[in-house]
Structure 1
Amino acid sequence: MNKRILTALLLAAALVVSLVGCSSQTGGSKPVEDAKTQFKSEMKFYGSTTLAPVISQLSTSFNEHYVTWDKVDSKFDKKDIAIYVSGAGSSAGVKSIIDGVSDFGMVSRKVTDEEKAKIEGYQEFKLGMDALTISVNPKNQLTKLKDSLTTEEIKKIFAGEFKTWNDVDPSLPKTEIVVVTRDIGGGAHEVFQKAIMGDTKVRADVIQAPSMGALVTKIIENENAIGYASYGMVNQNKGKLVPFKVDGIESTSENILNGTYKVSRPLIVLRKGDMLPQEKAFMDYVVSDEGMDVIEKLGFVPNK
């Protein structure tokens, strides 16, 4: 190719690039919006498997009512509302906030001072209360003999000192007790350990359920099983579980709120730093009277 022609082509190409660059800077075309100023239509909740169905129900109700964010507030963009909820345990919920991988953490236990110190701009929303009921299958013969277990009896069952139901009461058959817990490192077990077990460890062969729903299912499926089922889950499965009183105290909403039922726990949503306006709009709905009604309908004690 002739050198003059090649030089002319290169100069023309350079001129086109230069003109495109100038037009993007001077308004000839719309500038790319900074990611930080873009409207965030999604939010992520991560943590407690007890709270996950609650937030899922609340997000579904919120989404069905508004559909797009501009219907929530005319100042918001017309984008689909997308609220994602994943259950992985309370401790995982706290860690997700510390690591900045979720927008909100779901926790069904107290948050420690050490954990709070790791979360800059710590915010906490208490949605209500739950309790861990010591529950069995309705076919379990122990339910015909008593309606209450002492802390010491529960400790001996979960530690493996009582290995068969006959150890609990001589009139019962020598059938092995099947003990079900949440994962030992999770928030639910931490609550149970402090309230009931103290320094005593649960038996080594305990069945560790991956979620509260899985724990409840194990009890429903096995008449020899016993576990600490969530108060909310018991209410959602009426007739399928029989909760015992603990030291003569029944797990009623009143006893859970006033603290006389000893195995109770808070239901909390965590946040690091300030919320975006759309995040605040959803959390305002969660803690509203309508949101509290949803929590109550799911069997928990709302924070009214």
Structure 2
Amino acid sequence: MSRVRLLGVCTAMAVGVTAIPAAAASASAPAHTSAKPVITLSGSTSVAPLASLLIRGYLKQYPGRVKFKLAQGGSDVGVADVAKGRVSIGMSSRDAKSSDPGGLFFNKVSKDALCVVTNPGNPIANLSQEQVKAIFSGSVRDWSDVTGSSITGTIDVVVRTAASGTQDAFQKIFLGSSSVLGAASQKASNGLVQQAVQTNKNAIGYVSFDFAGGTNAVAYKGTACDLRNAKSGAYGGTRNFWFVTRGRPATGNAIQKFISWAQNSKRAQAIVGKHWVPLV
């Protein structure tokens, strides 16, 4: 699957990150012979904004220690890339699956709130789990049948593609055994779901909290989807963010140093705490 929503070149250069072109990402190996190590990352469009900020913080604290290259494409892409040795770290917004290749190690870096979102022109205040299931499965198809809706008309359901960790998390947390409506519009990134909901009054979707801006984030089971509730554990729609590696990173190598810093340093946890849930 092709990569999507690569970091812009100017942004990438500003933080010392090179955006990996789609064709080159698969050819990038994690091992390099140059004096300065290069850490390559690919995968989740949810984790990528956090990874970019962590890279910025790491390079500020340890200038010249290492170079980074970052691509996206979805959690399944990141997991597959790291399993095949194409990248150093696969970014994943879903937990490990029994179907994942063997030998992978999932390093938790944060938790994230997953928000159900509607257009600001349809500011629904709250949805129960049964309502979410009914809407996203297609058993309820008109906004006139949804309590709290300020509009009528066909509900335009927006979901993520199968390679998405966000889709996997949404299925497990919100839908359970219910299936997503087959006619739902599928988007390849959080940003595209955000844009679709922002521009369509009849739309409903779900995004990482970091992408909820410009939408109406709907409370779930009576609890607002916000950072405070995610940090306290009150909000039920949280999931883990992972840096996936081939085996546990060897102590002292560049990958292990970066991941350990991301998990444990005060500077990293301050970065995480701005839009996500820190580990400590």
Q: TM-score with structure 2 length normalisation?
A: 0.79
Contact 2:43 2:72 in 1 (8 A): yes
Whole-angstrom distance in 1 between the partners of 2:208 and 2:38: 30
Percent pairwise identity: 28
Whole-angstrom distance in 1 between the partners of 2:41 and 2:81: 9
Match of 1:28 in 2: none
Match of 1:289 in 2: 266
CA-CA distance at 1:256 after TM superposition: 3.3
CA-CA distance at 1:181 after TM superposition: 1.1
Contact 2:136 2:181 in 1 (8 A): yes
**Does 2:28 align with 1:43?**
no
- Alignment equivalent of 2:58, drawn from 62, 81, 105: 62
CA-CA distance at 1:43 after TM superposition: 1.2
**Does 2:240 align with 1:303?**
no
Aligned AA for 1:197? L
Match of 2:109 in 1: 127
Contact 2:93 2:165 in 1 (8 A): yes
Whole-angstrom distance in 2 between the partners of 1:58 and 1:294: 7
Inter-CA distance 186–37: structure 2 relative to 1 (3 Å threshold): closer
Whole-angstrom distance in 2 between the partners of 1:189 and 1:39: 40
1:302 aligns to what SS in structure 2? coil
Whole-angstrom distance in 1 between the partners of 2:57 and 2:150: 47
Inter-CA distance 222–95: structure 2 relative to 1 (3 Å threshold): same
Whole-angstrom distance in 2 between the partners of 1:169 and 1:280: 49
Contact 1:127 1:292 in 2 (8 A): no
**Does 2:96 align with 1:118?**
no
Match of 2:200 in 1: 222
Contact 2:243 2:259 in 1 (8 A): no
- 1:159-207 Cα shifts (integer Å, max 9, x gaps): 2222221121498543221211111342211111122222322122211
Aligned AA for 1:98? A
Inter-CA distance 113–40: structure 2 relative to 1 (3 Å threshold): farther
Whole-angstrom distance in 1 between the partners of 2:74 and 2:154: 29
- 1:102-125 Cα shifts (integer Å, max 9, x gaps): 11111111112453x612xx4332
Whole-angstrom distance in 1 between the partners of 2:126 and 2:148: 17
Aligned AA for 1:264? T
1:203 aligns to what SS in structure 2? coil
Whole-angstrom distance in 2 between the partners of 1:169 and 1:282: 47
Larger radius of gyration: 1
- What aligned pairs does 1:138-287 form with structure 2 within 5 A after superposition? 138-140=120-122, 143=123, 147-169=125-147, 172-234=150-212, 237=213, 240-253=214-227, 255-257=229-231, 260-273=234-247, 274-275=249-250, 277-287=253-263
Which stretches in structure 2 are left out of the alignment for 5+ residues? 1-30
Whole-angstrom distance in 2 between the partners of 1:228 and 1:174: 20
Whole-angstrom distance in 1 between the partners of 2:133 and 2:149: 20
Q: TM-score with structure 1 length normalisation?
A: 0.73
What is the aligned-residue RMSD (CA, Å)? 2.5
- What aligned pairs does 1:12-91 form with structure 2 within 5 A after superposition? 39=35, 41-69=37-65, 81-91=66-76
Whole-angstrom distance in 1 between the partners of 2:76 and 2:245: 14
Which stretches in structure 1 are left out of the alignment for 5+ residues? 1-34, 70-80
Inter-CA distance 106–169: structure 2 relative to 1 (3 Å threshold): same
- 1:200-222 Cα shifts (integer Å, max 9, x gaps): 22122211111111111211222
Greater helix content = 1
Whole-angstrom distance in 1 between the partners of 2:224 and 2:150: 24
Whole-angstrom distance in 1 between the partners of 2:77 and 2:32: 27
Match of 2:12 in 1: none
